[in-house]
Amino acid sequence: MVTIRLVQGDITEQSADAVVNAANSSLLGGGGVDGAIHRAGGPEILAECRALRASRYGRGLPVGQAVATTAGRLPARWVIHTVGPVFSREEDRSELLASCHRESLRIADEIGARTVAFPAVSTGVYGWPPEDAARIAVETVRAARTSVEEVRFVLFDERAYRAFAERLD
């Protein structure tokens, strides 16, 4: 079974086999976690993302899917980019958010990552309430069949940290 740990902090400072990026479909960078990862990891990551856009993902990475690149100068070996759904009150997109976690772990298995750090995907610009995102993230990781040994949720702010901590009690 996967051990789940919580850390309040910056995902770009995490030593782990892989860190998950809350990317957007373009794979070409953005704000929040995405901006921080590209800034700290350097241009190698963006170069691989561009190559993915030029090959397998000509139309971008679909919501709910994941793909790995180098982690450049980050203290990790890989970045697993996943695209979270934008939160909607009209439509239940929970399955897509669950898919981000499941697919990231599937990619982690493919590359042989045993420790994986996740941010609170979709809870920033994409507007997902952290309490609900925490429920989906924790349930999905607990249910996953994976060889990953440690999932570390790295929460930037107090509210997200508390939301995840309550789920793990």
Q: Applying CB under 6 A, which residues contact ligand ADP?
A: 10-12, 22, 31-34, 36, 84, 119-126, 154, 156-157, 160
Contact 116, 16 (CB under 8 A): yes
Is-catalytic flag, 34? yes
Euclidean distance between CA atoms 13 and 151, whole angstroms: 15
Minimum CB separation of residue 40 from ligand ADP in Å reads: 8
Minimum CB separation of residue 48 from ligand ADP in Å reads: 19
Strand order in the sheet with 115-118: 3-8, 150-155, 115-118, 16-23, 76-83, 66-70
Own/partner contacts of 88-97, CB < 8 Å, gap of 24 or more, are 94/132, 94/136, 95/64, 96/63, 96/64, 97/64, 97/121, 97/122, 97/128, 97/133, 97/136, 97/137
Residue type, 115: T
Token pair recorded at residue 45 = 């990551």
Q: Of 57 and 156, which CB lies nearer to ligand ADP in the complex structure?
A: 156
Minimum CB separation of residue 55 from ligand ADP in Å reads: 24
Q: Which of 10, 17, 34, 132 is catalytic?
A: 34
Q: Of 108 and 121, which CB lies nearer to ligand ADP in the complex structure?
A: 121
Q: Of 37 and 105, which CB lies nearer to ligand ADP in the complex structure?
A: 37
Minimum CB separation of residue 153 from ligand ADP in Å reads: 10
Q: Of 35 and 112, which CB lies nearer to ligand ADP in the complex structure?
A: 35
Q: Which residues are catalytic?
A: 34
